Amino acid sequence: GAGVSQSPSNKVTEKGKDVELRCDPISGHTALYWYRQSLGQGLEFLIYFQGNSAPDKSGLPSDRFSAERTGGSVSTLTIQRTQQEDSAVYLCASSLVSGGPWDEQYFGPGTRLTVT
């Protein structure tokens, strides 16, 4: 079946512009995660959605970052007034959350964001 998809695959934007990154999780997966992979910081957690619960935003680096998940499915990560340090690969993952140890997080291919 289809895996996690993300769009765009690459995004180049000018400093100060807003960007939106999209994630389509695997159908039926109730949990959705955003991570960021950058040279200086490695792979870091950003935000976590689980069902209808309030999202865990503890990993968002600043208030310029926000994310929504509409209808329990598609998610959009928005970065306002982008800065050069926002340049990174943004990874989305989803999982079924069955409660067992086999709740594998399936990762999408990522969106490479370059802020010039």
Rounded to a whole number of angstroms, the minimum distance from the CB of residue 97 to another protein is 4
Residues in 95-114 that interact with another protein by CB under 8 A:
95-110
Closest CA relative to residue 110, chosen from 64, 46, 65: 46
The two counts, helices (H) then strands (E), for the chain are 0, 10
Measured from the CB atom, is 55 or 64 closer to another protein? Answer: 55
4 and 95 in contact (C-beta within 8 Å)?
no
Among 11, 13, 38, 56, binds another protein (CB under 8 A): 56
The answer to the question of residue 55 lying near another protein (CB under 8 A) is no
